[in-house]
Amino acid sequence: MKQFSHKIMALVMAFVVLFSTTSFAITEHYCGDTLMDTSIFSKASSCGMEMESKSTVEGCSIAKENCCTEQQILKSAQDEMQTSTDKISFEQKLFIASFIYTYTNLFEGLDKNVSSFEEYAPPVVTIQIYKIDESYLI
């Protein structure tokens, strides 16, 4: 169970790092007040109702307002990552070195601990002392 929870937490943390360092854009195309298309990573397709501003006659121009709008939501990536470890103080380096040294030597010599009583059998119990000292209510 413990290994499973560690794997799940590692996977969640990997996704957090991935999504915090990735940037993307969501583009939405509206025709009037109606959402026509939504697209991620590319431009949304139009509905075909865009107005062309070509005038056929010189000097005569009729300008109509376009009913289509595009909205873009941009999620920018995190750029402030610390890549260097030059700012570690001497006390922190000393702590890290002592921690690593004590952790690697923590389990050293455990197999050399020999118990002297493991080779002998327990004594034979002739009288059960706990029954002599107990009092029973009847």
Q: Is there a domain that residue 10 lies in?
A: yes
Domain that holds residue 43: 2-47+64-75
64 has a pLDDT exceeding 60: yes
Q: Is there a domain that residue 28 lies in?
A: yes
Q: How far apart, in Å, do the first and last CA atoms of the chain sit?
A: 49
Q: Which residue, chain included where needed, has tokens 């570690």?
A: 88
Q: Is there a domain that residue 16 lies in?
A: yes
30 has a pLDDT exceeding 60: yes
84 has a pLDDT exceeding 70: no
Q: Is there a domain that residue 104 lies in?
A: no
Q: Is there a domain that residue 34 lies in?
A: yes
- The amino acid occupying position 11 is L
Nearest of 10, 15, 37 to residue 26 by alpha carbon? 37
Q: Is there a domain that residue 113 lies in?
A: no
Q: Is there a domain that residue 92 lies in?
A: no
Q: What is the dihedral sign for C-alpha 93, 96, 102, 105?
A: negative
Global confidence as pTM: 0.38
62 close to 106: Cβ distance less than 8 angstroms = no
Q: For strand 34-40 and strand 24-31, is the pairing parallel, antiparallel, or unpaired?
A: antiparallel
Q: Is there a domain that residue 117 lies in?
A: no
Domain count, the chain: 1
Dist CA 32 CA 65 (whole Å) = 11
